[in-house]
Amino acid sequence: MQMLKIARVNCNGISGILGYQSVDPATSHIYEHDKQAHKLFPHQELAQGLRTLSNGASKSKFSPYNLSVEQKEFITDYGLASCSTSQMKDAVSTMTYMARMNEISCTPEQLMSATKFLDAVKNWIKNKKRANDFFFLNQWGKCSMSGQDLKEVLDLLMTSPNDRTSPPDMSAYHNLHLLTPEFRETVWPYVKVHSHDHVGSTWSSITFECVHWKLLLAAAVKMYPDGTVQLEIDFFRGCAERDEWQVGQIGFSDFNHSYFLIGMDICRSENNISAGRLLDRALEMLNEVDGDCDYVLVDGGPALNLAIDNANKSRATARVKIKKRACHTHMNRLPNTRGGGKRGGNGSLPRYLLDQGVDRKTMRKIVACIFMISWIPPSDEESFIVALELLIQKFGNSLNDHVRQKYLNGDRLSLGGHMAGKPGQVASTNGMERFGGWTKTSVTLPSLSNN
């Protein structure tokens, strides 16, 4: 009778029984597991008598290009060759990674003929699909990444754009994520990490920017004779499970109101420190192309306001003072679209007035007057001030101190609108918000965490 020691195990939520020691009843010797057996290839197993020919077969069907158990387990574990036919290109990454890893044994024939090696990988994947074995779940952006893997990616992405004329040398890395087509074709050519505090286990912020930011800003500073650019800052959630992290973005819009991203910051929450990182870096970029910032278009969130105030204090001798410009769309958002606050991403003046007890008919009149006043040209400043005074006189009982001090204070920038900035500048962060919405639907990071 053979003796077998077993243990109940639980791995990643999967429970099972593990047999970990077997004893030969005749000699009482413990059976030793052959740790190299899974590295054998089918044709080697046949030569050692571990396989037999099929009934009636006169010659072996196995070739040096067939996969070993070790190689099949590797593909199963990493699963970057997706079930989807459109993702079958990732089989190339899997094959390349196996060929470069010293830990994964490959036959000389596999290393000499990448085409036949790739065919063997693809055929095995297709066989598993025909058997309805859909274990290929890990895809780029949808699989967890270890802390050390993430740190390697971030460190590599800090490479200067001047040194990115060719794909990076991956011979020193055993990080499968670096070998995917997504990294080679999308991340490496376009993303530059400016700073991060990842130590291999935890992190709190990652600031990155477009590789070609200098070309974008060099064109942006030519829009106006004084070389100044209106920047736009916004934060959004929705790229990670449970909304643990927020993503801040900064960019600008051209005369056609097309938005161009120049930098992003992944952080725990929207605060003046994260907003300050984005703004400070953008100001450094503008300085490198002999430009500057005159306005920052914001949704009214206090964190963004404080970041702008801090930037002005740190550059007290700068030739241009940064002015805060309210997003006109945020202020006049319809009351029942979203949110209910009076400032920030969920802000809405109509909704705020209704919450303060103003009847709907009066609210419509106030908002309509504010919209019309915002179109009074800067050349007629007297009419602008008189119109605000008449509005307060007419609806004074419905306008509390906050509305008067926040929006009706005589400063066009607080009211927002197309007349508040330079001709051609956008008056809202709609382009930025559309980009944020596209990012949330196109780039999902369910495993984004701080480890």
Taking CA atoms, 352 is separated from 250, 369, 389, 427, in Å, by 28, 16, 21, 21
More confident residue, 82 or 312: 312
- Catalogue the E-assigned strands of 181-223: 191-196, 205-210
pLDDT score, position 71: 85
Tell whether the model's pLDDT for residue 337 goes beyond 60.
no
First-to-last alpha carbon distance for the chain, in angstroms, is 48
Q: Round to whole Å and give the CA distance between 97 and 391.
A: 69
The encoded tokens of residue 146 equal 């270890």
The lowest-confidence range among 21-35, 96-110, 215-229, 375-389 is 21-35
- Catalogue the E-assigned strands of 152-238: 191-196, 205-210, 228-236
Q: Round to whole Å and give the CA distance between 247 and 169.
A: 30
User: What average pLDDT does range 205-220 have in this prediction?
Assistant: 94
pLDDT score, position 395: 93
Q: Round to whole Å and give the CA distance between 289 and 215.
A: 9
Q: What is the largest CA-CA distance in the chain?
A: 107
* Alpha carbons within 13 A on the beta-carbon side of 60: 14
Three-state SS letters, 341-361: ECCCCCECHHHHHHHCCCCHH
Q: Round to whole Å and give the CA distance between 54 and 299.
A: 72
* Alpha carbons within 13 A on the beta-carbon side of 198: 25
Digit-coded pLDDT (tens) for 364-388: 999 999 999 999 998 999 999 999 9
pLDDT score, position 344: 40
Q: Round to whole Å and give the CA distance between 200 and 151.
A: 6
Digit-coded pLDDT (tens) for 78-112: 654 444 444 444 566 677 777 776 778 888 898 88
Taking CA atoms, 248 is separated from 96, 277, 416, in Å, by 35, 10, 22
- 53 — alpha (psi -120 to 50), left (phi > 0) or beta? beta
SS3 call for 292: strand
pLDDT score, position 144: 61
pLDDT score, position 98: 76
Q: Round to whole Å and give the CA distance between 283 and 258.
A: 21
The lowest-confidence range among 208-222, 227-241, 341-355 is 341-355
Q: Round to whole Å and give the CA distance between 193 and 208.
A: 4
- Nearest residue to 296 (alpha-carbon basis) of 239, 359, 251, 238: 251
Confirm if 234 and 264 have CB atoms less than 8 A apart. Answer: no
Tell whether the model's pLDDT for residue 21 goes beyond 60.
yes
The encoded tokens of residue 376 equal 């009074």
**Amino acid letter, residue 216:** L
